[in-house]
């Protein structure tokens, strides 16, 4: 009986050994040495920067994260946090990029380069508005969302207000002007969309929103014209006359009075 138990124990041990070896063969056990083991902070940073410059964003992020993990209290760690945000931005991973930016701002609100992170946050949202601007390609503008453009504007505005002397503020202000034009044009496109479908109240309201929110935008001229036509279609003569009066007063040479259209010059090219 004792001999039988011994044999069973040996069989169980052998089976366990075979199972462990099979796991190793399937790659489920560690079989690769970390090439960065023993690297100094400066070497990790240098290699990460090289990967970033080469467009290997995923590997750059890995190196920067290892740098921060291994050397959390040095200046390289703070720089790595900034570089990670930029790498995610270049990779097109907006959620990760924004999370990295917010984390840095929260951890280092007084960092000498925190203005760059505010600027980067604006850029991340700015580049996420491709869908919003798709009405340029004749897609239905009522199906698009202007959230990204508004968030980009707010990000650039924070930079301009908090860091008026930043080297990034001039470009941020230019992009804010672009976004105002984009948002106003978007409202006009939606207003025209409603007008073509006979939704004259919605058209007038959307055009009025463009006039109210974006007074200095070139699209205001067309917004007033849409208001004028919408009120005319609704038989609201007084409101129609008010819209025409404001249009003539602010745009006396408007092409809309002669049945023309606004200039075809690309409104989005402002710098």
pLDDT per position as a tens digit, 219-244:
999 999 999 999 999 999 999 999 99
pLDDT band at 175 (very low <50, low <70, confident <90, very high): very high
What 3-state class would DSSP assign to 144?
coil
**Domains of the chain in sequence order:** 42-103 (1.25.40.10)
pTM above 0.85, yes or no: no
Q: What distance in Å separates the CA atoms of residue 229 and residue 245, rounded to the nearest whole number? A: 13
For residue 86, which of 132, 53, 110 has the smallest C-alpha distance? 53
* C-alpha closest to that of 271 among 126, 186, 188, 170: 170
At 119-134, the pLDDT tens digits run 999 999 887 655 444 5
């Amino acid at each position: 009986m004792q001999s039988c138990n011994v044999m069973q124990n040996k069989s169980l041990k052998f089976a366990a050994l075979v199972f462990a070896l099979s796991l190793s063969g399937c790659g489920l056990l560690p079989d690769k040495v970390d090439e960065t083991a023993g690297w100094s902070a400066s070497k990790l940073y240098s290699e990460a920067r090289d990967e970033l410059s080469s467009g290997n964003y995923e590997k750059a992020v890995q190196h920067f994260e290892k740098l921060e993990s291994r050397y959390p209290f040095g200046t390289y760690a703070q720089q790595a946090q900034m570089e990670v945000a930029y790498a995610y931005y270049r990779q097109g991973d907006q959620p990760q990029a924004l999370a990295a930016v917010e984390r840095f701002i929260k951890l280092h609100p007084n960092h000498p380069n925190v203005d760059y992170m505010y600027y980067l946050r604006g850029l991340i949202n700015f580049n996420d508005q491709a869908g919003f601007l798709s009405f340029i390609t004749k897609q239905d503008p009522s199906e698009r969302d202007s959230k990204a453009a508004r968030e980009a504007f707010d990000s650039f505005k924070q930079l301009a207000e908090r860091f008026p002397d930043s080297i990034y503020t001039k470009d941020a202000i230019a992009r804010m002007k672009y976004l105002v034009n984009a948002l106003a044009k978007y409202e006009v496109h939606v207003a025209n969309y409603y007008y073509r479908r006979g939704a004259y109240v919605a058209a007038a309201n959307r055009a009025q929103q463009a006039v109210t929110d974006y007074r200095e935008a070139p699209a205001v001229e067309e917004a007033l014209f849409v208001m004028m036509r919408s009120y005319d279609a609704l038989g609201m003569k007084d409101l129609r006359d008010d819209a025409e009066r404001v249009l003539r007063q602010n745009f006396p040479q408007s092409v809309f009075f002669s049945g023309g259209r606004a200039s075809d010059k690309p409104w989005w090219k402002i710098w």
